[in-house]
Amino acid sequence: MVQRYVLEKIDDPKLRVYVVWGPMLGGETEEDAREATASLADSRGTHFWTGAHTLAEALRAPAGLQEELAWDTFLLFPPEAKWGDVPPLPAYVMHVGKRLPPDRRLNGEKLFDQVKKLAGAR
Amino acid sequence: MTRRIVLTGWAAAWLLAASASAAPQAPQAATPVAPTRIDGLWEGAILYDPAQFEMETVVEIAYDAQGKLVGTIDIPSQQMKYYSLRDFQVDGTKISFKFYKDSRRRGPNSPFLFEGELSPDGRTMQGMFTGFYHEEMGIDRVPFRLQRVREAGDERPAEPEPPLHSLSARGEELRESFNRDVGGTRLVMLLSPT
């Protein structure tokens, strides 16, 4: 739905989406990830596979999580954000099933609004 | 790890719901078709929670040599591809059909039922789907909406295969991409592929 709710509706050529596929549940494989890439085929998207939780740990604090890893999270960064030794703070976070505010639960229309706001602010 | 029936970890399934559903989406052509014509290639979604959790669904229905309706269904989030549809019923604009699948909640070979109605222009079918149990919501009966996008038997567009990059242990490649793309809005998603 990121494809349909966001990428198909926002034609900003500078918009980028990075999908990090990984072992959130424990048994996922790189082949699973290869199949899943078809779900987001926009030229502005880049797909990564990791067999580790390193990034999910590194993005835990920026996502506002305390103990949970940042799997099933969606972090939106403004154009000026740079990733130094640690990831920058996102402008907006959405999640699925995390101990985060329920109004931040993943929603395609809200995500569209937030991306539009940031992309349009440039 | 599987989300086939229990539907835990919903984000990848959410991501997979990439075709027509609750959001307005223009069909390929506006040419009306007969409202009672159920044959064709239909795309849409089962709408557990519109804009939040939708299951992408593709249904292909055709007539066999004996004039009997046959069909298949794809639900990628359930790892279902060309799964057989059965028990078609058409009564004017009212339609129903089923597939049968093992269900942890309802037992082996359980029916999964679509009951709906064709739109006056014959391009949309919508109604209720009864099947997969959503544990969080406590429901197994939710709306569905499909749009007729092609004729049955038409070649389907090839599925895109974007490249997949392996990350090193610390994920430096993501950081490099992120910084290379400074100046643009960036969305980072961490997901399970299953």
Q: Residue A15 and residue B185: Cβ atoms within 8 Å?
A: yes
Give residue B30's pLDDT band: very low, low, confident or very high (50, 70, 90). Answer: low
Residue of B nearest to A72 (CA): B191
List, for residues A40-73, the tens digit of each pLDDT value: 889 999 999 999 999 999 999 999 999 999 999 9
In sequence order, the 6+-apart residues with CB closer than 8 A to the CB of A82 are A88, B178, B179, B182
Give residue B29's pLDDT band: very low, low, confident or very high (50, 70, 90). Answer: low
At A55, the amino acid letter reads L
List, for residues B140-193, the tens digit of each pLDDT value: 999 999 999 999 999 988 878 899 999 998 899 999 999 999 999 999 999 999
List, for residues B10-23, the tens digit of each pLDDT value: 444 444 443 334 34
Q: What are phi and psi of B184, to 5 degrees?
A: -125, 155
Q: Residue A40 and residue B159: Cβ atoms within 8 Å?
A: no
Distance of alpha carbon A30 from alpha carbon B104, whole angstroms: 27
Inform me whether the pLDDT recorded for B2 exceeds 80. no
List, for residues B81-108, the tens digit of each pLDDT value: 999 999 999 999 999 999 999 998 999 9
User: Given this model, what pLDDT does residue B24 score?
Assistant: 41
CA angle, A92 then B56 then B99, to 5°: 150
Name the residue facing A24 among B163, B175, B192 (closest C-beta): B192
Give residue B33's pLDDT band: very low, low, confident or very high (50, 70, 90). Answer: low
Looking up tokens 């709906």 gives: B116
Cβ-based contacts of A59 with chain B (< 8 Å) = 188, 190
At A5, the amino acid letter reads Y
User: Given this model, what pLDDT does residue A121 score?
Assistant: 55
List, for residues A64-103, the tens digit of each pLDDT value: 999 999 999 999 999 999 999 999 999 999 999 899 998 9
User: Given this model, what pLDDT does residue B35 score?
Assistant: 56
In sequence order, the 6+-apart residues with CB closer than 8 A to the CB of A84 are none
User: Given this model, what pLDDT does residue B25 score?
Assistant: 45
User: Given this model, what pLDDT does residue B102 score?
Assistant: 94
Distance of alpha carbon A44 from alpha carbon B184, whole angstroms: 11
User: Given this model, what pLDDT does residue B3 score?
Assistant: 40
Q: Which residues 86-125 of chain B have a CB within 8 Å of chain A?
A: none
Nearest CA distance, A68 vs chain B (angstrom): 13
Distance of alpha carbon B85 from alpha carbon A13, whole angstroms: 41
List, for residues A10-28, the tens digit of each pLDDT value: 999 999 999 999 999 998 9
Cβ-based contacts of A87 with chain B (< 8 Å) = 175
Inform me whether the pLDDT recorded for A109 exceeds 60. yes
Give residue B77's pLDDT band: very low, low, confident or very high (50, 70, 90). Answer: confident
In sequence order, the 6+-apart residues with CB closer than 8 A to the CB of A111 are A2, A5, A6, A74, A76, A94
User: Given this model, what pLDDT does residue B32 score?
Assistant: 63
Q: Residue B188 and residue A72: Cβ atoms within 8 Å?
A: no
Inform me whether the pLDDT recorded for B27 exceeds 80. no
User: Given this model, what pLDDT does residue A119 score?
Assistant: 85
Residue of B nearest to A42 (CA): B162
User: Given this model, what pLDDT does residue B154 score?
Assistant: 92
- Percentage, residues of chain B above pLDDT 70: 82
CA angle, B51 then B24 then B10, to 5°: 20
